Chain A
Amino acid sequence: MIETALIIETVVKAVVVLSVVAAMGAFATFIERKVLAFMQRRLGPMHVGPYGLLQLAADGIKLFTKEDIIPQNTIKPIFIIAPVVAAASAFVAVAAVPYFPEFTVFGYTVHPIISDINVGLLFVMGAASVGMYGPLLAGLSSANKWSLIGGARAVIQLLSFEVVSGLSILGPVMMMGTLSLIDMNDYQIGGVSHWLIWKQPLAFVLFAIAGFAETNRTPFDLIEFEAEVVSGYATEYSGMRWGLFFIGEYANMITISVLVSIIFLGGYNDLWFIPGALAMLLKVSLWIFLFLWVRAAWPHIRPDQLMWFCWKVLMPLSLINVLITGIVLV
C-alpha cells in the first residue's frame, strides 16, 4: 500500500512540476520579449490581450497547428526524436531539484521534490548534459550544413563547459560534504551571511558563466545564432518540434537558476521577513532577469574564443579554486 501511495504521490508531483515548469518556460519567453523590449525602447507584444499577455496562447496555437514538415533526405526517426530528447532531458533534470520548503496539506507532509536522491546535484547536471544530444542529433539528422555546424558547435560547447561546471561545483561540494541539494540548502540556514557565495565567490562566478554556456544564452549563443549559422541545429524544424527545443531550453534556464539559488544564494531558507518559498521565487526571477539583461547588453563571442575562454581561463581558475578549497579545508 505504502508503495502504491508513494507511486501516486510521485506521479502527481511529476505532473504538477512538469506542467508548472513547462508553463513557466513558456511564460519566460513572454517575459524575455517584454524585458528585451523594455531595454530596447520598444513595446514588445501588445496586441493580443492586455499588454500582450495572451501572446503566449497565440504562439502556442500557432506552434501546434503549424504544418509539420520533415524535409527530404533527413534521417527521419532521429529527426523526430531530437526535440523530444531536448525537452525530456530538461524535464528529467527537474526531478531531483527541490523548489520549496516542505509544507503540509490536509495533514499530509509534501516534499516539493520528485525524487530525493542523495546525489541530486550530479543527477541534475548529468541529465542536463544529456539535453545537448537534442541539438547534436538534430544537427546530424537534418541533412543541412548549417544544422551540422550548429550540431558541431553544440558538441564542443558541451564537452568543454561540462568540465568547468563540474570542477567549479567541486569546491562547494567539498565544503559542504554532500551532493544532495536539500543538504546544501540546509547548510546555509541562518541568513545572508551563511550563504555560500561569500565562501566560494570564484566558484559562483565560474558556475554562473558555465550556466550561461550550457543554456546557450548570450554571450555563448553560438549554436543557433542567426547571422552566422542561420538557425543552427533548428534550421529545418518548424511547429511544435521547434517549440519543444525552446521549451527545453527555457526549462534548462529555470533549472540553472534554481541550482544557483540553492547552491550559492541560500536556497529556500527564509530571508529576513520573506518566507522561504517567496525568497526562492525572487532569487530565480532575479537570475532569469540577469540572463535576459546580459542578452540585451552584450554581443556574443566566436567559437574559437569560446574554447580559448573555457580551457585557458575558466578551467585553470576552477582548478585553482578546488586546490585552495582543499588547502583551506585541510
Chain B
Amino acid sequence: MSSDSAGNLVEVRGLCKVFPTGGGNKVHAVEHVDLDIAPQETLAVVGESGCGKSTLAHLVMRLLEPTAGSIMLDGVDIGSLKRRELRQHRRKAQIIFQDPFASLDPRRPVGQAVAEPLLVHGVARGADADDIVAELFTLVGLTPSMMRQYPHQFSGGQRQRICIARALTLEPKLVVADEAVSALDVSIQAQVINLMMELQRDLGLSYLFISHDLAVVERVSHRVAVMYLGQIVEIGPRSAIFENPQHSYTKRLLDAVPIADPRQRRERPLISGEIPSPVWAPGTSPERVELVEVDTGHFAARED
C-alpha cells in the first residue's frame, strides 16, 4: 500500500487461506490480505486468538500454501518457486516462534542448532561454521562458550536469544517473529525486544512482528496492521493506529489494554460481546471489507 512499491521487501496481494473443517465447513483464516514491508521496517500484525495472524506469518514463510493470492519477497514471487529454488530463497526469510523450548532439540548442544542452517545451505562447515556461530552468540548477548551447552541449561530468555541467533545465521532480510516474546517474563521480554531493535539497526532487518500485545507492538513497530476474522480492518503508521484509530475493532482492542497506572483505572463498560466464529457453512463466505485511505498511508475498513 506504499506508493513506492518498487522498494518494498515484501509485497502481499490478495492473500487467502481457507482450511476445510468437518461437514464441508471452512475456516477463512486469511482473507484478501494486502500488505507491504519496506526494508528495515517493522510491520506489526495484531489481533486476538483466531484472527489469522499466525496463519499469515506461516504463509509469508511459505510453511503453508495459500488458497489464493501472491507473496513477493525481495522481488521474487515465492509461490512460483520450485523446491530447490525455494530452499535458496528461504535464506532471505527466517522465523522465530513463541516457545523457545519447543523449537530447540533437547538432545543437541545449542551451538549445533545454530550451525545447522549453515550446513544445510552449504554456507560453511567445521571450524568456519563454529566461528560464525561464536560470532552470532556474541551478537545476541550470549558467550561463545555456551555453544556446547544444552537447551535445558538456559533460561527462557537465553533460549529465545539462541533462536534469534539461529534465525540470523543465513543473514536474512526478513525475520518473522510469531509471538516471539509472549512467553517471556516482562524484564526478559524487554531485553529481548531491545536486542531485536538493535539487530534491526545494525543488520538492516525487516520484521513481520506478530503479536497480541498492543503495548509491545506500540514500542517495536513502524507500521501496524489490525486483523479481525482473517481480514485487515486497519493498517497504517504506528502513531496513526495508536493515536488516531478509526475502526471500531481497533478502538475496542486499545480500550481493553490494561494500563499500568492505577490513577488511570477506568470503570469499563462490561462489553459482553465475543468475536464471531471464522467457520463458514458450505456455500457461505465472509463479506470482504473495503479499506479506505483516511490519511497518508493509513487505511481503515468502511463500517456501516
**Bound pair: A and B?**
no
Chain B contacts to A: CB under 8 angstroms: none
A residues whose Cβ falls under 8 Å from a Cβ of B: none
